[in-house]
């Protein structure tokens, strides 16, 4: 189903079983159109749910996308990041949920937006802002599986695919510089790991890698992971929601993929020897 406007939020939702007043069966896929009820508003907000799982279960949270049907003409600003809501269908309260992003503007033409974002970041020398998902460079195609505020994998894939041969060295230098700019910051850790993963994948498959200095980038990333280890382990945002040790668990997953592709491990233990 194609979205009719550009305004979405990301959320986790849970549906009550019929015994507790919920639906007789779970909605699936795209198009379920309830209202959301928040405590700070005296009327409900019309929305459309996207990416509801097939084969889901009651009383279980699932990450989805929510289209804000009449944004900005209604009071959707009450759906604050981290805020909670009830899912209303007719007279029933069918479930509840939690907002997990700010309002995201999406291009209804989907992938056609990515080249423009990449080009703008290159022209303004702002690849670092693109990597960390600064608002001007966020990109989330409607069917993305990215749990973050931007689908960095899709953006980087476009950067690699559209890179002219005579610009590869220049763009590789710019991308490596951007990674080194962000890797020492907490919000730069996951994006830096994604760059290393994608370059490793391209190198393994022979799909025109940029020739990034993976060993040195991985070493810098490993030092940042060690520095922020405790904070990462307690962070259940984004991909961290799937692991008991939060984003540290997500980084272990990314690390395993990189190593399997023949790339360098991004973990450095306290002994200084590279390891996961």
> Would the pTM count as exceeding 0.75?
no
Structural domain count of the chain = 2
- Residue-wise pLDDT for 9-48, tens only, equals 889 999 999 999 999 989 887 789 999 999 999 999 999 9
Q: How far apart are CA 166 and CA 16, in angstroms?
A: 57
- Residue-wise pLDDT for 74-119, tens only, equals 788 899 999 999 999 999 999 999 999 888 765 444 445 788 899 9
- Asked if 12 and 146 sit in the same domain, the reply is no
- Res. 141: pLDDT tops 80: no
Residue 191 buriedness (CB in 10 A; 0-12 / 13-18 / 19+): buried
CATH code (residue 171): 1.25.40
- Residue-wise pLDDT for 145-198, tens only, equals 678 888 898 899 889 988 899 999 999 999 999 999 999 999 999 999 999 999
- Asked if 246 and 201 sit in the same domain, the reply is yes
- Asked if 136 and 80 sit in the same domain, the reply is no
| 72: preceding bond cis by omega (within 30 degrees) | yes
- Res. 1: pLDDT tops 60: no
Average pLDDT over residues 114-140: 92
CA distances from 254 to 155, 214, 251, 269 (A): 18, 14, 5, 17
Rg (CA), the chain: 20
- Asked if 77 and 128 sit in the same domain, the reply is no
Task: Provide the pLDDT for residue 7.
Answer: 81
Contact between 37 and 86 under an 8 Å Cβ cutoff? The reply is: yes
Residue 273 lies in a domain: no
Task: Provide the pLDDT for residue 108.
Answer: 43
Task: Provide the pLDDT for residue 142.
Answer: 63
Tokens found for residue 210: 């940029």
Domain around 32: 7-104
CATH code (residue 37): 2.40.30.10
- Asked if 145 and 251 sit in the same domain, the reply is yes
- Residue-wise pLDDT for 214-247, tens only, equals 999 999 999 999 999 999 999 999 888 878 999 9
* Core vs surface per residue 240-262: b (16+ CB within 10 A) or e: bbebebbbbbbbeebbeebeebe
Closest CA to 174 of 154, 190, 143, 195: 195
- Asked if 204 and 78 sit in the same domain, the reply is no
- Residue-wise pLDDT for 242-275, tens only, equals 789 999 999 999 999 999 899 999 997 533 444 4
- Res. 2: pLDDT tops 80: no
- Asked if 143 and 124 sit in the same domain, the reply is yes
**Residue at token pair 């995201």:** 104
Q: Of 65-69, 89-93, 134-138, 205-209, which one has max mean pLDDT?
A: 89-93
């Amino acid at each position: 189903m194609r979205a009719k406007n550009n305004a979405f939020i990301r959320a986790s939702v849970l549906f009550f079983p019929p015994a507790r007043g919920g639906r007789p069966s779970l909605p699936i896929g795209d198009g379920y159109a309830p209202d959301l009820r928040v405590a700070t508003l005296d009327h409900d907000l019309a929305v459309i749910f996207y990416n509801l799982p097939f084969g889901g279960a009651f009383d279980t949270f699932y990450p989805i996308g929510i289209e804000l049907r009449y944004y900005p003409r209604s009071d959707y600003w009450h759906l604050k990041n981290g805020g909670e809501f009830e899912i209303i269908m007719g007279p029933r309260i069918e479930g509840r949920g939690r907002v997990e992003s700010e309002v995201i503007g999406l291009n209804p033409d989907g992938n056609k937006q990515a080249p423009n974002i990449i080009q703008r970041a290159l022209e303004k020398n702002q690849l670092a802002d693109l990597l960390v998902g600064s608002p001007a460079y966020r990109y989330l195609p409607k069917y993305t599986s990215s749990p973050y505020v931007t689908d960095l994998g899709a953006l980087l894939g476009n950067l690699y695919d559209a890179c002219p041969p005579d610009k590869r060295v220049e763009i590789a230098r710019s991308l490596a510089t951007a990674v080194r700019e962000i890797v020492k910051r907490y919000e730069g850790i996951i994006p830096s790991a994604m760059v290393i993963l994608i370059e490793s994948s391209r190198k393994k498959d022979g799909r025109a890698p940029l020739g990034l200095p993976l060993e040195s980038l991985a070493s810098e990333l490993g030092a940042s992971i060690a520095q922020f280890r405790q904070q990462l382990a307690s962070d259940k945002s984004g991909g961290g929601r799937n692991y008991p040790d939060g984003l540290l668990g997500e980084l272990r997953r990314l690390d395993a993929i990189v190593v399997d592709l023949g790339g360098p491990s991004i973990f450095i233990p306290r002994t200084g020897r590279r390891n996961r």
